[in-house]
Amino acid sequence: MLQSCGINIRYSVPYTPEQNGAAERENRTIVEAARSILHHKGLPLKLWAEAVNTAVYVLNRTGPTREKEKTPIELWSASSFNVRYLRVFGTKCFAHVPKQRRQKSDPKSVEGFFVGYCGEKDGYRVWLKKQNKIILSRDVIFENEASYSVKAQNGKSCSVVNEPSVDHGSEIELIRSSDVPDSDVCQEIGEASCDAIDSKESSDEQERNLRDRSMLKKPARYDNCVLLAEHAEPDTYKEAIASKESSEWIAAMKEEMDSLEANNTWELVNLPQDRKAIG
Protein backbone atom coordinates (compact mmCIF):
# COMPACT_ATOMS: atom_id res chain seq x y z
CA MET A 1 0.00 0.00 0.00
CA LEU A 2 2.83 2.41 0.83
CA GLN A 3 4.56 1.74 -2.48
CA SER A 4 1.32 2.40 -4.37
CA CYS A 5 1.15 5.81 -2.67
CA GLY A 6 4.77 6.60 -3.52
CA ILE A 7 6.01 6.29 0.08
CA ASN A 8 9.46 4.83 0.75
CA ILE A 9 10.06 3.33 4.21
CA ARG A 10 13.32 4.41 5.84
CA TYR A 11 14.24 3.12 9.29
CA SER A 12 16.48 4.79 11.86
CA VAL A 13 18.69 3.23 14.51
CA PRO A 14 16.82 2.66 17.80
CA TYR A 15 17.09 5.48 20.36
CA THR A 16 18.61 7.90 17.85
CA PRO A 17 15.89 10.45 17.03
CA GLU A 18 18.45 12.81 15.51
CA GLN A 19 18.51 10.58 12.43
CA ASN A 20 14.91 11.63 11.74
CA GLY A 21 15.40 15.35 12.13
CA ALA A 22 12.48 16.52 9.98
CA ALA A 23 9.88 14.55 11.95
CA GLU A 24 11.42 15.47 15.31
CA ARG A 25 11.42 19.18 14.44
CA GLU A 26 7.79 18.98 13.32
CA ASN A 27 6.85 17.26 16.58
CA ARG A 28 8.57 20.01 18.53
CA THR A 29 6.64 22.67 16.61
CA ILE A 30 3.34 20.96 17.42
CA VAL A 31 4.16 20.48 21.12
CA GLU A 32 5.30 24.09 21.53
CA ALA A 33 2.15 25.37 19.83
CA ALA A 34 -0.04 23.20 22.08
CA ARG A 35 1.79 24.40 25.19
CA SER A 36 1.41 28.05 24.16
CA ILE A 37 -2.34 27.93 23.52
CA LEU A 38 -2.96 26.06 26.78
CA HIS A 39 -1.06 28.55 28.94
CA HIS A 40 -2.37 31.55 27.00
CA LYS A 41 -5.89 30.87 28.26
CA GLY A 42 -4.93 29.22 31.55
CA LEU A 43 -6.67 25.95 30.70
CA PRO A 44 -5.88 22.71 32.57
CA LEU A 45 -3.26 20.32 31.22
CA LYS A 46 -5.83 17.55 30.89
CA LEU A 47 -6.89 19.24 27.64
CA TRP A 48 -3.44 18.64 26.09
CA ALA A 49 -4.87 16.25 23.47
CA GLU A 50 -7.37 18.87 22.31
CA ALA A 51 -4.57 21.45 22.18
CA VAL A 52 -2.38 19.16 20.06
CA ASN A 53 -5.21 18.40 17.63
CA THR A 54 -6.00 22.11 17.30
CA ALA A 55 -2.33 22.97 16.73
CA VAL A 56 -2.08 20.39 13.93
CA TYR A 57 -5.37 21.60 12.44
CA VAL A 58 -4.18 25.22 12.33
CA LEU A 59 -0.64 24.43 11.11
CA ASN A 60 -2.02 22.41 8.21
CA ARG A 61 -4.08 25.41 7.14
CA THR A 62 -1.63 28.24 7.82
CA GLY A 63 1.83 26.66 7.75
CA PRO A 64 4.37 27.48 5.01
CA THR A 65 5.20 25.17 2.11
CA ARG A 66 7.69 25.14 -0.72
CA GLU A 67 5.10 26.65 -3.03
CA LYS A 68 4.32 30.27 -2.27
CA GLU A 69 0.76 31.23 -1.30
CA LYS A 70 -0.13 27.57 -0.77
CA THR A 71 -0.87 25.87 2.56
CA PRO A 72 -0.42 22.13 3.22
CA ILE A 73 -4.17 21.49 3.13
CA GLU A 74 -4.44 23.22 -0.27
CA LEU A 75 -1.64 21.11 -1.72
CA TRP A 76 -3.12 17.91 -0.31
CA SER A 77 -6.79 18.41 -1.17
CA ALA A 78 -6.51 20.96 -4.02
CA SER A 79 -9.19 23.09 -2.33
CA SER A 80 -9.05 26.49 -0.64
CA PHE A 81 -9.76 27.10 3.03
CA ASN A 82 -11.59 30.04 4.60
CA VAL A 83 -9.53 31.31 7.54
CA ARG A 84 -12.55 33.20 8.91
CA TYR A 85 -13.68 29.85 10.30
CA LEU A 86 -10.71 29.79 12.73
CA ARG A 87 -11.18 30.78 16.37
CA VAL A 88 -8.88 31.43 19.35
CA PHE A 89 -8.35 28.30 21.44
CA GLY A 90 -9.94 28.58 24.89
CA THR A 91 -12.36 31.37 24.00
CA LYS A 92 -15.52 31.43 26.07
CA CYS A 93 -18.51 30.48 23.95
CA PHE A 94 -22.14 29.38 24.05
CA ALA A 95 -23.18 26.23 22.19
CA HIS A 96 -26.74 25.76 21.00
CA VAL A 97 -28.72 22.97 22.67
CA PRO A 98 -30.98 21.15 20.17
CA LYS A 99 -34.66 21.09 21.02
CA GLN A 100 -34.51 17.29 21.12
CA ARG A 101 -32.22 17.50 24.17
CA ARG A 102 -33.97 20.16 26.25
CA GLN A 103 -37.30 20.83 27.84
CA LYS A 104 -39.54 23.74 26.92
CA SER A 105 -38.33 25.95 29.78
CA ASP A 106 -34.64 24.94 29.58
CA PRO A 107 -32.01 27.37 28.24
CA LYS A 108 -31.27 27.16 24.53
CA SER A 109 -27.50 27.36 24.95
CA VAL A 110 -24.82 26.05 27.29
CA GLU A 111 -21.67 27.87 28.38
CA GLY A 112 -18.30 26.36 27.54
CA PHE A 113 -14.84 26.92 26.07
CA PHE A 114 -13.73 26.38 22.50
CA VAL A 115 -11.11 23.58 22.36
CA GLY A 116 -11.00 22.44 18.75
CA TYR A 117 -12.65 21.65 15.45
CA CYS A 118 -14.72 18.71 14.23
CA GLY A 119 -12.26 17.59 11.57
CA GLU A 120 -13.94 17.43 8.17
CA LYS A 121 -17.30 18.46 9.61
CA ASP A 122 -18.45 22.05 9.96
CA GLY A 123 -18.50 22.37 13.72
CA TYR A 124 -16.58 23.10 16.90
CA ARG A 125 -15.52 21.15 19.96
CA VAL A 126 -16.72 22.82 23.18
CA TRP A 127 -15.48 21.90 26.66
CA LEU A 128 -18.18 22.13 29.34
CA LYS A 129 -16.25 22.90 32.50
CA LYS A 130 -19.05 22.09 34.96
CA GLN A 131 -19.89 18.73 33.39
CA ASN A 132 -16.22 18.09 32.52
CA LYS A 133 -17.05 16.82 29.05
CA ILE A 134 -16.63 17.84 25.42
CA ILE A 135 -19.53 18.27 23.02
CA LEU A 136 -19.72 18.87 19.27
CA SER A 137 -21.80 21.76 18.00
CA ARG A 138 -22.20 23.60 14.73
CA ASP A 139 -24.08 26.61 16.13
CA VAL A 140 -21.71 28.39 18.53
CA ILE A 141 -21.58 32.04 19.60
CA PHE A 142 -18.15 33.28 20.70
CA GLU A 143 -17.52 36.05 23.20
CA ASN A 144 -15.14 38.93 22.58
CA GLU A 145 -11.82 37.26 21.80
CA ALA A 146 -9.87 40.31 22.98
CA SER A 147 -10.55 39.35 26.61
CA TYR A 148 -8.54 36.50 28.08
CA SER A 149 -8.01 34.74 31.38
CA VAL A 150 -4.87 33.79 33.30
CA LYS A 151 -4.07 31.77 36.39
CA ALA A 152 -3.84 33.63 39.65
CA GLN A 153 -1.31 32.81 42.39
CA ASN A 154 -3.83 30.60 44.19
CA GLY A 155 -4.22 28.44 41.09
CA LYS A 156 -7.71 29.65 40.22
CA SER A 157 -8.61 31.17 36.91
CA CYS A 158 -9.36 34.87 36.84
CA SER A 159 -10.42 37.24 34.12
CA VAL A 160 -8.30 40.21 33.11
CA VAL A 161 -10.50 43.27 32.70
CA ASN A 162 -9.35 46.71 31.62
CA GLU A 163 -10.69 48.88 34.42
CA PRO A 164 -11.16 52.60 33.80
CA SER A 165 -8.40 54.71 35.27
CA VAL A 166 -9.37 56.71 38.34
CA ASP A 167 -7.43 59.64 39.70
CA HIS A 168 -6.88 59.04 43.42
CA GLY A 169 -5.07 62.31 44.06
CA SER A 170 -5.56 64.53 47.06
CA GLU A 171 -9.09 65.79 47.54
CA ILE A 172 -9.70 69.52 47.39
CA GLU A 173 -12.48 71.04 49.44
CA LEU A 174 -14.37 73.73 47.55
CA ILE A 175 -15.54 76.74 49.57
CA ARG A 176 -18.05 79.13 48.08
CA SER A 177 -17.39 82.84 48.48
CA SER A 178 -20.83 83.30 50.03
CA ASP A 179 -19.83 81.04 52.93
CA VAL A 180 -17.04 83.41 54.05
CA PRO A 181 -17.95 86.75 55.73
CA ASP A 182 -16.74 89.87 53.95
CA SER A 183 -15.21 91.23 57.16
CA ASP A 184 -12.95 88.21 57.55
CA VAL A 185 -11.72 88.55 53.98
CA CYS A 186 -10.92 92.22 54.42
CA GLN A 187 -8.98 91.51 57.60
CA GLU A 188 -6.84 88.93 55.78
CA ILE A 189 -5.98 90.82 52.59
CA GLY A 190 -6.48 94.42 53.67
CA GLU A 191 -8.89 97.20 52.88
CA ALA A 192 -7.04 98.26 49.72
CA SER A 193 -7.41 94.83 48.18
CA CYS A 194 -11.14 94.79 48.98
CA ASP A 195 -11.59 98.11 47.19
CA ALA A 196 -9.73 96.78 44.15
CA ILE A 197 -11.93 93.69 44.03
CA ASP A 198 -15.11 95.75 44.28
CA SER A 199 -14.03 98.07 41.48
CA LYS A 200 -13.11 95.14 39.22
CA GLU A 201 -16.43 93.41 39.80
CA SER A 202 -18.32 96.61 39.01
CA SER A 203 -16.37 97.13 35.79
CA ASP A 204 -17.03 93.54 34.64
CA GLU A 205 -20.75 94.03 35.15
CA GLN A 206 -20.84 96.95 32.71
CA GLU A 207 -22.03 96.02 29.22
CA ARG A 208 -19.67 96.52 26.32
CA ASN A 209 -20.75 98.65 23.40
CA LEU A 210 -20.38 96.55 20.24
CA ARG A 211 -20.42 97.77 16.68
CA ASP A 212 -23.07 96.72 14.23
CA ARG A 213 -21.72 93.49 12.69
CA SER A 214 -23.46 94.20 9.40
CA MET A 215 -20.90 96.97 8.79
CA LEU A 216 -17.95 94.58 9.10
CA LYS A 217 -16.13 93.62 5.91
CA LYS A 218 -14.59 90.26 5.22
CA PRO A 219 -10.84 90.14 4.53
CA ALA A 220 -9.76 90.50 0.93
CA ARG A 221 -7.83 87.18 1.09
CA TYR A 222 -11.16 85.34 0.96
CA ASP A 223 -11.38 86.29 -2.71
CA ASN A 224 -8.54 83.86 -3.49
CA CYS A 225 -10.55 80.98 -2.04
CA VAL A 226 -13.40 81.77 -4.42
CA LEU A 227 -11.05 81.72 -7.39
CA LEU A 228 -9.68 78.33 -6.38
CA ALA A 229 -13.15 76.91 -5.84
CA GLU A 230 -14.17 77.79 -9.40
CA HIS A 231 -11.40 75.54 -10.81
CA ALA A 232 -12.08 72.33 -8.90
CA GLU A 233 -10.13 69.20 -9.84
CA PRO A 234 -12.04 66.34 -11.51
CA ASP A 235 -13.16 63.49 -9.27
CA THR A 236 -13.13 60.68 -11.84
CA TYR A 237 -11.08 59.53 -14.81
CA LYS A 238 -13.87 60.41 -17.24
CA GLU A 239 -14.06 63.97 -15.93
CA ALA A 240 -10.29 64.39 -16.28
CA ILE A 241 -10.28 63.15 -19.89
CA ALA A 242 -13.28 65.32 -20.80
CA SER A 243 -11.76 68.49 -19.31
CA LYS A 244 -9.76 71.12 -21.19
CA GLU A 245 -6.59 69.99 -19.42
CA SER A 246 -6.95 66.36 -20.61
CA SER A 247 -3.47 66.29 -22.16
CA GLU A 248 -1.87 67.43 -18.90
CA TRP A 249 -3.85 64.82 -16.93
CA ILE A 250 -2.79 62.03 -19.30
CA ALA A 251 0.87 63.07 -19.03
CA ALA A 252 0.66 63.16 -15.22
CA MET A 253 -0.97 59.71 -15.07
CA LYS A 254 1.65 58.22 -17.40
CA GLU A 255 4.45 59.69 -15.30
CA GLU A 256 2.94 58.21 -12.14
CA MET A 257 2.50 54.75 -13.69
CA ASP A 258 6.09 54.78 -15.01
CA SER A 259 7.33 55.65 -11.53
CA LEU A 260 5.36 52.80 -9.93
CA GLU A 261 6.64 50.30 -12.48
CA ALA A 262 10.25 51.48 -12.15
CA ASN A 263 10.17 51.07 -8.35
CA ASN A 264 8.56 47.59 -8.50
CA THR A 265 5.75 48.63 -6.18
CA TRP A 266 3.32 46.00 -7.48
CA GLU A 267 3.30 42.39 -8.59
CA LEU A 268 0.90 40.77 -11.04
CA VAL A 269 -0.76 37.71 -9.47
CA ASN A 270 -3.72 35.50 -10.25
CA LEU A 271 -7.03 36.36 -8.62
CA PRO A 272 -7.59 34.00 -5.63
CA GLN A 273 -10.58 31.71 -5.70
CA ASP A 274 -13.83 33.07 -4.27
CA ARG A 275 -12.46 36.63 -4.34
CA LYS A 276 -13.48 39.74 -6.29
CA ALA A 277 -11.11 42.25 -7.83
CA ILE A 278 -11.13 45.77 -6.39
CA GLY A 279 -11.74 48.60 -8.83
Cβ–Cβ < 8 Å for 65, 72:
yes
Q: Which residues pair with 128 in a beta bridge?
A: 133
d(CA 28, CA 33): 8
pLDDT of 69 > 80? The answer is: no
Dihedral of CA 48/51/53/56: which sign?
Answer: negative
Could you read off the pLDDT of 6-34 as tens digits, one per residue?
888 888 898 888 888 888 888 899 999 99
| pLDDT category of residue 230 using cuts at 50, 70 and 90 | low
pLDDT of 160 > 90? The answer is: no
Q: How high does pLDDT run on average in the chain? A: 75
Q: Which ranges of the chain would DSSP assign to H, the alpha helix?
A: 21-41, 48-62, 72-77, 182-189, 191-205, 222-230, 237-242, 246-262
3-class state of residue 47 by DSSP: helix
User: Of 107-111, 155-159, 230-234, where does mean pLDDT reach its minimum?
Assistant: 155-159
d(CA 27, CA 155): 29
d(CA 138, CA 125): 9
d(CA 92, CA 126): 9
Could you read off the pLDDT of 216-228 as tens digits, one per residue?
776 776 666 665 5
pLDDT of 192 > 80? The answer is: no
